[in-house]
Structure 1
């Protein structure tokens, strides 16, 4: 009888142990199928930037141009359907200059093509031409239908599409002579033309003098070039009133973007005056 009781107790304990193991196994299975949030990989934005992948093991400096658009792309992996994708571009350290405005871009994408499993995010956003150049912060937030979110971020350098450097312009010129002007131009979209405007305000026109305003567009030597030296000599009439003149050089690219360089020149009285 004692042996039978021991066997009965052993069977009972074995059943309890089996049930406990089964319960624990179920719990482990529950843990193993718990769904995580979205995974964002290969996030690319602007030019010159590549996400970390097998071909690019480090991030390169990202850049984009004012007045153009910025390319953005990311691979999204998700266990449940995506509910929304939010994009933000902003800056805290760049102050607007004259004729510039602050720019903060925010948009929530709920396009049908994104509200699926494992979508690829691909957008191009317009960059205004009147914002300050500098470093901007980019944030991408993906939220799934379970309310779980994942965020990635980076920085992009928004640059001028046209730059003028190394200017050399005469500061004085004798009327009846010419003045020299040169500078380097870089225009990623190609140069359309370079215009020069020379004018003065409030100068007294004496007898034998004629008010002088100079405006001319230079195109032949510069059109469609992306990097070139502007080098011209501009004649000053012998009848021009002496005094200070304002000079504005304006470079226009093929997309309509412009960049200006401004300076002054003194026209002196020395030299012959041709009478009208």
Structure 2
């Protein structure tokens, strides 16, 4: 009877030892942190990956995630440093965490579109994507994206003065990602004395021909100034509008001489 008790005690002790070793083995099994690959981000409307987006549009983001443990959350951070905030603009950054069922899975694909306010300052922004699994392991990838104006103007050449009875020329290049809708030129003066034989003059005209729908086009026009226009300084506002309603302006002056 004593021998049987000894044998029984040995087997119980062995079982406890094996169980303890088994538990230790389980605790040592730690899944690898998630792996993020093929991280792309760019203009949303074309699912571009050129790492450029436009004010008033959206950013397309996509990444493949390989995770040994179930993904717990995906976090996105977009911010800029020391960008100049111009008139009509507001500092912009973006943070969001996705922890819904769509992404709480093994090996999900991240795909989102983030709106960029039309008032966001143009420039370079830093992007960080962080994936965390159910075990607390996390991985992040980083990149940079340029936020640009949907309309840009370059090579501006506008006469600074014109003798009345003649014309002046205005010329510049337009790049409009959504296509040009029209260009409006508005010229007017305030408080000029109208002399004998003179007639108060202002000018407003919409230009569409050869421009409408174009994404890269040259504006080149000659504008007549009546011989009866009062001499003095005139304010000129040129407004370029694209097919999405975005606008860009050239604000300048021209002197009308005798």
Q: TM-score, with normalisation over the residues of structure 1?
A: 0.79
Specify every segment of 5 or more residues in structure 1 that has no aligned partner in the other structure, as ranges.
1-19, 49-59, 270-276
- Indicate whether 1:185 and 2:171 are aligned: no
Call closer, same or farther: CA 1:61–1:190 in 2, change over 3 Å: closer
Q: 2:111 aligns with which of 114, 117, 122?
A: 122
Aligned partners of 2:41 and 2:50 also within 8 Å? no
SS of the equivalent of 1:114 reads coil
SS of the equivalent of 2:254 reads strand
Call closer, same or farther: CA 1:249–1:71 in 2, change over 3 Å: same
Match of 2:39 in 1: 43
SS of the equivalent of 2:102 reads helix
The one-character-per-residue Cα deviations of 1:66-122 (angstroms, maximum 9, x if unpaired) are 121111001111122222211111101311111111011111123321121111000
Question: Which has the larger displacement, 135-144 or 75-84?
Answer: 75-84
1:108, 1:27 → 2: CA distance? 34
Q: 1:206 aligns with which of 192, 195, 198?
A: 195
Aligned partners of 2:43 and 2:58 also within 8 Å? no
The one-character-per-residue Cα deviations of 1:239-275 (angstroms, maximum 9, x if unpaired) are 2211111111111111111111222110012xxxxxx
Quote the offset at 1:28 in angstroms: 6.6
SS of the equivalent of 2:139 reads strand
Match of 1:14 in 2: none
| Bigger Rg over Cα | 1
- Indicate whether 1:223 and 2:209 are aligned: no
Q: 2:91 aligns with which of 84, 91, 102?
A: 102
1:196, 1:265 → 2: CA distance? 13
1:169, 1:143 → 2: CA distance? 56
Call closer, same or farther: CA 1:29–1:111 in 2, change over 3 Å: closer
Quote the offset at 1:61 in angstroms: 5.8
Specify every segment of 5 or more residues in structure 2 that has no aligned partner in the other structure, as ranges.
1-16
Question: Which has the larger displacement, 117-126 or 237-246?
Answer: 237-246
Q: 1:241 aligns with which of 230, 233, 243?
A: 230
1:61, 1:123 → 2: CA distance? 16
Quote the offset at 1:149 in angstroms: 2.0
2:71, 2:113 → 1: CA distance? 20
Q: 2:147 aligns with which of 140, 155, 158?
A: 158
The one-character-per-residue Cα deviations of 1:120-154 (angstroms, maximum 9, x if unpaired) are 00011111122211110001111222232221111
1:110, 1:238 → 2: CA distance? 70
Q: TM-score, with normalisation over the residues of structure 2?
A: 0.84
CA root-mean-square deviation: 2.4
SS of the equivalent of 1:97 reads coil
2:154, 2:21 → 1: CA distance? 72
The number of equivalent residue pairs is 238
